[in-house]
Structure 1
């Protein structure tokens, strides 16, 4: 992207040119201030010295800095010129401002170089006879060009020629930019998408590999056969996005990176890499034009995907809520989406961890990112699955079967559909957790019983939601819970009157009801561990890291609150049911 900057000679005219933006470094190795990419509006100090007005000028120091770019000119006619200088300036002077203290030239070179100026040009003999040796040595050390100007050339000639050369180069660059833009636009008008735009940019850049990287680090399109190398570059860019356009990859290789943006939306980066150095001017120009068109194609695809996603969510919502008025139409829609809803299937409900004080839009974006990552993780493991966001959950219609053809999950034949689905989702959840491209991790996934027809989906939806809720209450990150594995919880979850269930919970647990009193939370945990140890006091004490007598004391407190559960089986049954209800109902 280019921005307008000014050439502002003191007392002279102001000329507008374009300056390409560059700033701080990144994890990728970036060039120094004077070895960055050459903006279209600049010419090098070496090119300046080839102009007719400066052919008799002499370079007396800083020869290693001839590659520095001149994008502005300034005339020094006051001693305190530093507040008015800018980066990439060629500063001209007769020495008049320094006639009283020529030794100050030594410090001036360092000050000008620190501010990123391109070079310093001076006329001698009129006000200053010679340049200090220390100044020249410092200029050589810094690679800061110092030029002796001929007496017979006026500053107006130098200003005119250099600015004309800069503007001519800019005009040529703009013409080239327009040609590139037309070529890339033609690709889109011919029906091309992001892949074709990336390929066109690679063609225009000759031997460069071009890759489009999403804002979360996913590779959206690539022309490189070395997918591993491109993935590595994508990870580097995602980890610490370079704020400069050119980065060094080591071994002489170079990469140019530009942002893909559309208004306030950041869609990622377009990166071009090649094993040798590349002409940064042309590369940046081509990539910037390609990035603008890529943003258009991405925005268009997102708009289409948003509409399609809404239709998918509406269809699944109708299915799980039992609205089957036009079944044939719904089956046609499902087939068009690539879903297999006529085979045996299980329905899964996945909850996603929420962020405190999260806005509804941000929450929805998190769910959509998770659904996309979940969908990508399923690809290659099973075909015909539907993954959509409904309300505040991610629903998956997962085809299952008993044969190798019906169950392409890779978990083997002979397993029940629900068990096979649980195995698959455990694998998928782990992959999403490791490589989710910005998607939040799953909190809990519930799996319904296998169903044979669409009419059974409402019941399956209720089962999966209940299983997901129980898994969430158990506070096991990424838990996969099937409805059939709930045991007694399955029966408790079928009781519709939650008020009656909470009343029972309060009657049995009293002050130990979760959320009623924080001081009793330790006692509730002690009760759970004791029951899991089959009332074996010594075993429970070891699990809790308590002294045996400490646990006996706690048991006494528990029995005063709950009744003689250690000796009365009916009291113990009520307590165990109440603890299971906590998993079903959650805190009050």
Structure 2
């Protein structure tokens, strides 16, 4: 044999899986093929051999499988040697690893076109020695494949036991990542579904290379086992999947040699163990979140019980200082199930950034936060809203509450501000309770039919939007009341001539009454216009 065997190979199939077998280069290294010669397709020596087959019929294409090494004496093609170059293309198209042929008995030589075709395709053509039987080749190569796979399984099982022991001892993602890095002698990182690095292990220089490669490798399908080679070394990414959900990936980097199939097997076992760790942590987090939410709900409804401050400190909350309550309520027409979790995560991140001692909990259709009164409440609300891209929520801010006993009243204020703010400004509104003014009082009226009746009785034909002229007159009335009947200022704001505005005032008084002289009528008109501004009543 004139060619050095290729290193252990990994090939990415169309499904994203890695084949386990031996490379063509390694097959050429077995003793029965010591005198074999590679006559074409040298660039394909890393093709993987998983099985062997013997060509006994001319229509062999119907029987071959991917990753096969096909052996032949050329007997089926003895009468049509001109078809050999086409055979190479067909075999390559079907994913065969290589073709090994004996010459002299049925074929004296291979056509030059066949050899050229094999070189172009990187399809190995191997010339077999005449004194070696096919059964010897079959036995030796298949034994080598089986031994290789048995060694891979044994190594993988040993690694699996070590990883499971970590879980049984209470270890987490950090310990799993360190164990894999130690087993493979490479740099390893575990990242979550969003690409955030959860843990790294290995030599610092290689870890830095791995981070850089992972940051630039965003096009890889997240659900596939993905090997790739960069300028610095070799990488493999294995998905972490549990319950049909993609939780991230384990990524390994080796600077010297490619990661072989047994390494990939260990990474796959590590991904399974990492999925167990993640689901276990999610279960613990869910229970803790429920306790937090139940405790905060009790506080907000006045049922906090004894030792409130002590219990709050156990959650990392400080409720012994002046605080304010923020209520974020999901807006109508938003699918709650798809937004609720991201909404809660966005609020956790925003509160942690501005007040690490603040409390956050999610209820059925809202998120409640209790933060220090000195914090920038509108900024927290805006940051949380920016963290949810596929839905909106309206946020209400309360007055300052002096301790846990005042939280029920502050919660009521924040909830009222969220709902009135949405009525006034639409979805995504941020409103402080102190800024509601008269709308706070109007929102206390539960009988919306009575509010509608009041508007109709007070504004008459100006209450509706069916007539454009009436809507325009209502706008004139609103600006007049806002300027305290200052005709000159109203004309300036509306871009009317002074005489035109005087004419409009006369028309309004014929419709509504002498509001320019009747303070009580002006008050009623102002309230009616405020009610119209409140959406959803």
For normalisation by structure 2, the TM-score amounts to 0.83
Identify the match of residue 157 of structure 2 among 167, 173, 178: 178
Partner of 1:266: 246
Identify the match of residue 311 of structure 1 among 291, 295, 315: 291
Q: Aligned partners of 1:355 and 1:232: how far apart in 2?
A: 42
Partner of 1:9: none
Q: Aligned partners of 1:230 and 1:527: how far apart in 2?
A: 66
Offset of residue 252 of structure 1: 3.4
Partner of 1:28: none
1:399 aligns with 2:372: yes
User: Can you give the 5+ residue segments of structure 1 that lack an aligned partner in the other structure?
Assistant: 1-18, 26-35, 402-408, 410-419, 434-438, 543-547
The answer (yes or no) to whether the contact 1:213–1:220 under 8 Å persists in 2 is yes
User: Can you give the 5+ residue segments of structure 2 that lack an aligned partner in the other structure?
Assistant: 1-9, 484-488
User: After the TM superposition, which residues 341-490 of structure 1 pair with which residues of structure 2 at under 5 Å, given as runs?
Assistant: 341-352=319-330, 358=335, 363-364=336-337, 366-401=339-374, 409=375, 420-430=376-386, 432-433=387-388, 440=390, 442-474=392-424, 478-490=428-440
Partner of 2:6: none
Offset of residue 454 of structure 1: 2.5
Offset of residue 531 of structure 1: 4.1
Q: Secondary structure at the match of 2:401?
A: coil
The answer (yes or no) to whether the contact 2:84–2:111 under 8 Å persists in 1 is yes
Offset of residue 494 of structure 1: 3.1
User: After the TM superposition, which residues 569-584 of structure 1 pair with which residues of structure 2 at under 5 Å, given as runs?
Assistant: 574=524, 576-582=526-532, 584=534
The answer (yes or no) to whether the contact 1:59–1:146 under 8 Å persists in 2 is yes
The answer (yes or no) to whether the contact 2:420–2:440 under 8 Å persists in 1 is no
> What CA deviation, in whole Å up to 9, does each residue of 1:93-129 have, x standing for no partner?
2223323322222122122222222111222233333
The answer (yes or no) to whether the contact 2:32–2:140 under 8 Å persists in 1 is yes
Q: Which has the larger radius of gyration?
A: 2
Q: Aligned partners of 1:512 and 1:80: how far apart in 2?
A: 88
The answer (yes or no) to whether the contact 2:12–2:226 under 8 Å persists in 1 is no
RMSD value over aligned CA atoms?
Answer: 3.8
> What CA deviation, in whole Å up to 9, does each residue of 1:298-323 have, x standing for no partner?
11111111111111111111222222
Q: Aligned partners of 1:453 and 1:189: how far apart in 2?
A: 43
Q: Secondary structure at the match of 1:152?
A: coil
Offset of residue 149 of structure 1: 2.1
Q: Aligned partners of 1:242 and 1:426: how far apart in 2?
A: 31
The answer (yes or no) to whether the contact 2:461–2:470 under 8 Å persists in 1 is no
Partner of 2:486: none
Q: Secondary structure at the match of 2:46?
A: coil
Offset of residue 442 of structure 1: 4.5
1:216 aligns with 2:194: yes
Q: Secondary structure at the match of 2:271?
A: helix
1:54 aligns with 2:33: yes
User: After the TM superposition, which residues 184-263 of structure 1 pair with which residues of structure 2 at under 5 Å, given as runs?
Assistant: 184-208=163-187, 210-223=188-201, 240-242=220-222, 244-248=224-228, 250-263=230-243
1:335 aligns with 2:313: yes
The answer (yes or no) to whether the contact 2:343–2:384 under 8 Å persists in 1 is no
Seen in structure 2, the aligned counterparts of structure 1 residues 250 and 487 have a Cα distance that, compared at 3 Å, is farther
Seen in structure 2, the aligned counterparts of structure 1 residues 485 and 121 have a Cα distance that, compared at 3 Å, is same
Seen in structure 2, the aligned counterparts of structure 1 residues 378 and 454 have a Cα distance that, compared at 3 Å, is closer
Seen in structure 2, the aligned counterparts of structure 1 residues 450 and 160 have a Cα distance that, compared at 3 Å, is same
Offset of residue 565 of structure 1: 10
Seen in structure 2, the aligned counterparts of structure 1 residues 249 and 316 have a Cα distance that, compared at 3 Å, is farther
Identify the match of residue 125 of structure 1 among 104, 119, 125: 104
Q: Aligned partners of 2:459 and 2:257: how far apart in 1?
A: 74
Q: Aligned partners of 1:144 and 1:340: how far apart in 2?
A: 70
Q: Aligned partners of 1:266 and 1:525: how far apart in 2?
A: 56
Q: Secondary structure at the match of 2:236?
A: strand
Q: Secondary structure at the match of 2:85?
A: helix
> What CA deviation, in whole Å up to 9, does each residue of 1:37-77 have, x standing for no partner?
6x4x3101011111122222221100111111111222233
Q: Aligned partners of 1:582 and 1:199: how far apart in 2?
A: 64
Offset of residue 231 of structure 1: 7.0
The answer (yes or no) to whether the contact 1:509–1:578 under 8 Å persists in 2 is yes
Partner of 2:64: 85
Seen in structure 2, the aligned counterparts of structure 1 residues 216 and 77 have a Cα distance that, compared at 3 Å, is same
Seen in structure 2, the aligned counterparts of structure 1 residues 81 and 470 have a Cα distance that, compared at 3 Å, is farther
1:151 aligns with 2:130: yes
1:293 aligns with 2:273: yes
Seen in structure 2, the aligned counterparts of structure 1 residues 539 and 160 have a Cα distance that, compared at 3 Å, is farther
Q: Secondary structure at the match of 2:316?
A: coil
Offset of residue 587 of structure 1: 2.9
Offset of residue 562 of structure 1: 7.5
Offset of residue 144 of structure 1: 0.9
